[in-house]
């Protein structure tokens, strides 16, 4: 197929350049659509009773080649979106070990919230597609876990569960000592006796304290918390037991409490550095110059230098939003410099840290999360250097293509993504600078993930970057979204087969 024919084909299968046409996706009407309200928070929660246990077992025990068909039968019979997502998350928690790294096969758990975010942002009939993909992905992760020893989460040691008064201190002590057994029972005590926000604050104090697993610990915290808000806090105990187990992983290294290891050093320094920030640090004025200056330090400086500058800027009454402008832009620039697994995690980790920063209520915790984000980006940059050449691209020097935005449309942009990502990035920047609707680009990007995505990072990355567009100031958001095409899917890539599998599943 020629390039022109490819663009025409994509144009025929899109609506105003925003989404794949219903002529190709009409089979989804065999499943009831998922309304926006069903993917949002509500006072009602799914009870973890024999009904949800049966659904979890269905997902666990059904062979991969039959799972989509069996789930489609349940949906047609009235099983809700929330029930499917809850059972999917619990199946991953019970069957997939977050070791030896909080990644790899464990992405079957990490991706659940990203799939949900993609569902929530899509059209009603599309909302099943990411969840069906995540169901299939779980089966591949489950099979890998079986090959690696067939880990299964065991019951809580009830005799060790602390009382309501003792649980917070027991949890903090266990995390500080990297004590897995004590942490496991303490989590059970917390969940059974404390409110959700109190528990989140306790976990947020430790989720970003080390650089092991390149950010997946705080990603797990933010993603699991967000999923629990939708499926119900009554499912929290096994999820947070898994989270504590993941956060205490130190890759077989000596216990960090007795060692001075590189992944732990920024946290130790930042605990002291956080005390130097002025009391009213959250009240300041936005400063484009501050964002520019911090971005330069993130390019060339060390983690210590970046954190020192954050403290200086906050004490000069710079609003934290300008610091996050630099952090988001810096993460996007790393992706431009070396597209790949390390750089994309600088983006998804910044997304998770920003969410934790916004959600945590403790002043000291928020200070430390912000400082850790600043520390992590130079560490990501150094890790990229160990994998090969790192280009010198600068996100603030992104230019509009010759001729400007004339003739640019969504179909052409995503055709270019398949062949020349640098050109596609400049085209996105020009398109947005002409005040075109970013939602058209975002809708097309999501649909292409549904069609072309092959791994959990497609969902984790796209959900993070499309969400964060609205968390960045207008001066930076178009450049940030343009940089995202270095890890989005293009229209000329091969289909992943998911749509055909769902079509087949719904035809039985």
Q: For residue range 234-246, what is the model confidence (pLDDT) as tens digits?
A: 999 999 999 999 9
Phi/psi at 411 (nearest 5 deg)?
A: -60, -45
Is 135 contained in some domain? yes
| Host H or E run for residue 350 | helix 341-359
Is 134 contained in some domain? yes
> Does residue 94 sit in the same domain as residue 199?
yes
**Mean pLDDT computed over 260-284:** 97
Q: For residue range 360-415, what is the model confidence (pLDDT) as tens digits?
A: 999 999 999 999 999 999 999 999 999 999 999 999 999 887 766 666 789 999 99
C-alpha span between 403 and 422 (Å, rounded): 16
**Mean pLDDT computed over 37-59:** 62
Band (123; pLDDT cuts 50, 70, 90): confident
Find the domain containing 353 and state its range. 260-385
pTM higher than 0.75: yes
User: Residue 388, class by beta-carbon neighbours within 10 Å (0-12 exposed, 13-18 middle, 19+ buried)?
Assistant: exposed
- Among 385, 410, 442, identify where a domain stops: 385
Structure tokens belonging to residue 163: 């009382």
> Does residue 138 sit in the same domain as residue 282?
no
Q: Is pLDDT of 505 > 90? A: no
> Does residue 186 sit in the same domain as residue 272?
no
Structure tokens belonging to residue 228: 């629990």
- Among 259, 287, 318, identify where a domain stops: 259
**Mean pLDDT computed over 227-240:** 94
Candidate from 27-31, 151-155, 175-179, 410-414 with smallest mean pLDDT: 27-31
Residue 14, strand partner residues? 20
Band (498; pLDDT cuts 50, 70, 90): confident
Q: Is pLDDT of 23 > 60? A: no
pLDDT at 435: 78
Q: How many domains does the chain have?
A: 3
Is 46 contained in some domain? yes
Q: Return the C-alpha torsion angle 282, 283, 285, 288, nearest 10.
A: 0
> Does residue 151 sit in the same domain as residue 48?
yes
3-state secondary structure at position 3: helix
pLDDT at 272: 97
Selection from 355, 353, 105, 379 nearest residue 218 by Cα: 353
Phi/psi at 112 (nearest 5 deg)?
A: -60, -45
Is 178 contained in some domain? yes
> Does residue 290 sit in the same domain as residue 437?
no
Candidate from 28-42, 112-126, 262-276 with smallest mean pLDDT: 28-42
Band (100; pLDDT cuts 50, 70, 90): confident
What is the phi-psi region of residue 107: left when phi exceeds 0, alpha when psi lies from -120 to 50, beta otherwise?
A: alpha
**Mean pLDDT computed over 298-323:** 98
pLDDT at 177: 97
Average pLDDT value over all residues in the chain: 89
pLDDT at 409: 87
**Mean pLDDT computed over 257-265:** 95
Angle CA 112–117–122, to nearest 5: 125
**Mean pLDDT computed over 311-316:** 98
Q: For residue range 472-494, what is the model confidence (pLDDT) as tens digits?
A: 999 999 999 999 999 999 999 99
Give the list of residues 6+ apart from residue 439 with CB closer than 8 angstroms, or none.
18
pLDDT at 10: 42
Residue with tokens 């085209």, as numbered in its chain: 427
> Does residue 110 sit in the same domain as residue 238?
yes
Is 500 contained in some domain? no
Give the list of residues 6+ apart from residue 416 with CB closer than 8 angstroms, or none.
423, 424, 427, 490
> Does residue 61 sit in the same domain as residue 32?
yes
pLDDT at 434: 87
What is the phi-psi region of residue 490: left when phi exceeds 0, alpha when psi lies from -120 to 50, beta otherwise?
A: beta
pLDDT at 192: 96
C-alpha span between 316 and 300 (Å, rounded): 22
pLDDT at 406: 63
> Does residue 193 sit in the same domain as residue 153?
yes
The percentage of residues in the chain with a pLDDT greater than 70, rounded to a whole number, is 89
Give CB contacts under 8 A, 24+ apart, made by 108-111: 108/134, 108/137, 108/138, 108/140, 108/141, 108/142, 108/456, 109/220, 109/224, 109/242, 110/216, 110/219, 110/220, 110/223, 110/456, 110/460, 111/137, 111/456, 111/459, 111/460
| Host H or E run for residue 426 | helix 421-433
Band (45; pLDDT cuts 50, 70, 90): very low
> Does residue 67 sit in the same domain as residue 206?
yes
Band (50; pLDDT cuts 50, 70, 90): low
Residue 20, strand partner residues? 14
> Does residue 40 sit in the same domain as residue 108?
yes
Phi/psi at 317 (nearest 5 deg)?
A: 70, 35
Is 470 contained in some domain? yes
Residue 168, CA distances (Å) to 162, 179, 368, 441, 456 in order: 9, 14, 19, 45, 34
Q: Is pLDDT of 358 > 70? A: yes
Is 202 contained in some domain? yes
**Mean pLDDT computed over 198-225:** 96
- Among 206, 224, 259, identify where a domain stops: 259
Report whether 174 contacts 99 (CB < 8 A): no
> Does residue 88 sit in the same domain as residue 105?
yes
For residue 152, how many C-alpha atoms fall within 13 Å in the half-sphere facing its CB? 6
Q: Is pLDDT of 12 > 50? A: no
Band (55; pLDDT cuts 50, 70, 90): very high
C-alpha span between 480 and 103 (Å, rounded): 25
Is 492 contained in some domain? no
Report whether 393 contacts 409 (CB < 8 A): no
**Mean pLDDT computed over 33-54:** 56
**Mean pLDDT computed over 488-506:** 86
Phi/psi at 285 (nearest 5 deg)?
A: -110, 135
> Does residue 281 sit in the same domain as residue 240?
no
The percentage of residues in the chain with a pLDDT greater than 90, rounded to a whole number, is 80
């Amino acid at each position: 197929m020629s390039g022109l024919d490819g663009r025409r084909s994509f144009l025929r299968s899109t609506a105003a350049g925003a989404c794949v046409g219903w002529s190709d996706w009409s089979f989804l009407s065999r499943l009831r659509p998922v309304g926006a309200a069903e993917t949002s928070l509500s006072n009602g929660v799914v009870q973890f009773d024999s009904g949800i246990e049966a659904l979890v077992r269905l997902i666990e025990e059904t062979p991969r080649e039959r799972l989509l068909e069996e789930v489609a039968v349940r949906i047609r019979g009235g099983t809700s979106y929330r029930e499917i997502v809850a059972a999917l998350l619990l199946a991953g928690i019970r069957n997939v070990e977050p070791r030896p790294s909080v990644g790899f096969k464990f992405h079957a758990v990490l991706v659940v919230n990203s799939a949900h975010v993609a569902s929530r942002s899509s059209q009603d009939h599309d909302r099943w597609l990411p969840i069906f993909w995540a169901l299939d992905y779980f089966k591949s992760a489950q099979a890998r876990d079986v090959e690696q020893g067939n880990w299964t989460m065991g019951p809580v040691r009830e005799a060790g569960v602390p009382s309501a008064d003792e649980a917070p201190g027991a949890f903090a002590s266990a995390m500080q000592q990297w004590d897995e057994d004590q942490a496991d029972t303490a989590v059970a005590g917390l969940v059974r006796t404390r409110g959700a926000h109190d528990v989140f604050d306790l976990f947020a104090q430790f989720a970003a304290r080390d650089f092991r697993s390149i950010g997946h610990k705080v990603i797990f915290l933010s993603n699991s918390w967000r999923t629990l808000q939708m499926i119900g806090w009554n499912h929290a105990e096994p999820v947070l037991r898994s989270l504590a187990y993941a956060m205490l992983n130190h890759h077989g290294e000596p216990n960090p409490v007795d060692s001075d290891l590189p992944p732990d050093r920024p946290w130790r320094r930042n605990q002291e550095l956080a005390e130097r920030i002025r009391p009213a640090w959250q009240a300041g004025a936005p400063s484009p110059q501050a964002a520019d200056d911090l971005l330069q330090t993130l390019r060339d400086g060390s983690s210590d230098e970046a954190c020192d500058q954050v403290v200086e800027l906050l004490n000069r009454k710079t609003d934290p939003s300008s610091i996050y402008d630099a952090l988001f832009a810096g993460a996007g620039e790393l992706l431009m410099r070396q597209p790949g697994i390390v750089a994309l995690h600088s983006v998804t980790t910044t997304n998770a840290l920003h969410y934790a920063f916004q959600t945590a209520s403790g002043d000291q915790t928020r200070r430390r999360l912000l400082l850790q984000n600043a520390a992590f980006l130079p560490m990501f940059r150094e890790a990229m250097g160990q994998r090969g050449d790192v280009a010198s691209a600068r996100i603030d020097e992104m230019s509009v293509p010759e001729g400007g935005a004339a003739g640019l449309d969504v179909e052409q942009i995503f055709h270019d993504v398949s062949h020349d990502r640098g050109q596609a990035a400049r085209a996105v920047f020009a398109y947005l600078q002409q005040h075109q609707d970013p939602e058209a680009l975002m809708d097309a990007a999501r649909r292409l993930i549904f069609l072309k995505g092959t791994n959990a990072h497609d969902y984790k990355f796209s959900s993070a970057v499309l969400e964060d567009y609205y968390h960045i100031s207008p001066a930076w958001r178009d450049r940030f979204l343009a940089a995202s095409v270095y890890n989005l899917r293009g229209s000329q890539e091969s289909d992943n087969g998911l749509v055909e599998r769902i079509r087949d599943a719904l035809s039985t």
